[in-house]
Structure 1
Amino acid sequence: MASLKRYFITNGQFLITTAQTEIYTVLGSCVSVCLWDKQRQMAGMNHYLLPGSKDSPKGDADLGYSSIAMLIRSMLNRGAHVENIEAKVFGGCNSWSNDHPLFSVGKRNVEVANTLLQQTGIQIIAQHTGGSYGRKIIFNTATSKVKMFMLSRSAAEVNEAIRRGFSC
């Protein structure tokens, strides 16, 4: 069997495909929503940096509200149907070890995904979010499965090592 083509997406990007591929990204406080239309064999994945709000500028894929809306709308425009779409949500760690709401970006990113998917009627069938460490995810659009690897150090730990003069 030929190897699958691989696409890397970073914050502010999303990808929709009916081709058998692997879409991958690395997440800290960012969130990725992986969508799969089981009837059309269509997959979509985004990666957003900040939650944004209902009043966020339309078209800013760095903001959760806009990014998720664009991802869903783009899939629907390509023939997907909401009742056939299932979602998997990843990311949203809070690696800064500060409980102040200003630093709870990961938690707020996850809340946006859960709220918008619920409002749209898209079922979340898998979710791995929160915690102190980031993740690498690989979405196989041939199988609709997502492989996830936990990162072993938080951003705060990496920054502290750099501050102390150690390489990472």
Structure 2
Amino acid sequence: MNQYLQHFLYPSTLFASKEPYVVKTILGSCVAICLWDPVTKIGGINHYMLPTWNGNDLASPKYGNIAFEKLLERMIALGCRRDKLQAKIFGGGDLIAADRSAMLIGERNIRVARILLEEKNISVVASSTGGRKGRKILFFTDTGEVRHKFIDKREN
């Protein structure tokens, strides 16, 4: 990993680069969509918290539909072709199992990712979603590789 520039991806943000980066992020019920173009070797990733923007507030990448569109725009601006893109989906865990009033945000975030990718005919080549644990992921923008590990919620 020494030759890679590093970037930590915070919730409600996205990142894409022509330069080789390793992008790190931590996911609970949030979802990250990693897009990679095997022709240009350009990768990008988003990290969203809620499934869809309802028209109120700011149309920010906090919402899956906005985060996906903005990431797709950024990838195309960097020279990627939509018909070459591959996707990987991570996150959407149900970490608050006892509280069903959370309206299954993780599941809804996963569903939105799959619907948006299907609408744009972008194939999902890998995913690790759902479950009861969080995830730490490392995304390599130049190869499309994603390394991930499960993390337990720490009780303090």
- The answer to whether TM tops 0.5 is yes
Aligned partner letter, 1:27:
L
Amino acid at match of 1:20: P
* Alpha-carbon shift at residue 98 of structure 1 (Å): 3.9
Matches within 5 A, 1:71-110: 71-98=71-98, 100=100, 102-110=102-110
**What does residue 51 of structure 2 align with?**
51
Secondary structure class of the residue paired with 1:113: helix
Q: Is the 8 A contact 1:57 1:66 kept in 2?
A: no
Query: Residue 29 of structure 1 contacts residue 94 of structure 1 at CA under 8 Å; is this kept in 2?
Result: yes
In structure 2, what is the equivalent of residue 29 of structure 1?
Answer: 29
Q: Please, which runs of 5 or more residues in structure 1 have no aligned partner?
A: 163-168
Question: Counterparts in 2 of 1:139-150, with a 5 A limit?
Answer: 139-150=139-150
Quickly say closer, same or farther: Cα 1:87–1:58, change in 2 above 3 A: farther
Residues 55-101 of structure 1: per-residue CA shift (max 9 Å, x gap)? 46674011111001110111112221111100000000001114736
Query: Could you tell me which residue of structure 1 aligns to residue 17 of structure 2?
Result: 17
Tell me the number of residue pairs that the alignment of Structure 1 and Structure 2 aligns. Answer: 156
Which ranges of structure 2 fall in alignment gaps of 5 or more residues? Answer: none
Q: Which has the higher contact order (CA 8 A, sep 6+)?
A: 2
Cα pair 2:16 2:141 within 8 Å, conserved: no
Taking only aligned residues, the RMSD between alpha carbons, in angstroms, comes to 1.9
Larger Rg: 1
Contact 1:93 1:132 in 2 (8 A): yes
Amino-acid identity (%): 31
- The structure that is helix-richer by fraction is 1
Runs of 4+ in 1 over 6 A off after TM superposition: none
Give the secondary structure class of the aligned counterpart of 1:80: coil
Alpha-carbon distance in 2 for matches of 1:115, 1:54: 17
TM-score, normalization: structure 1?
Answer: 0.85
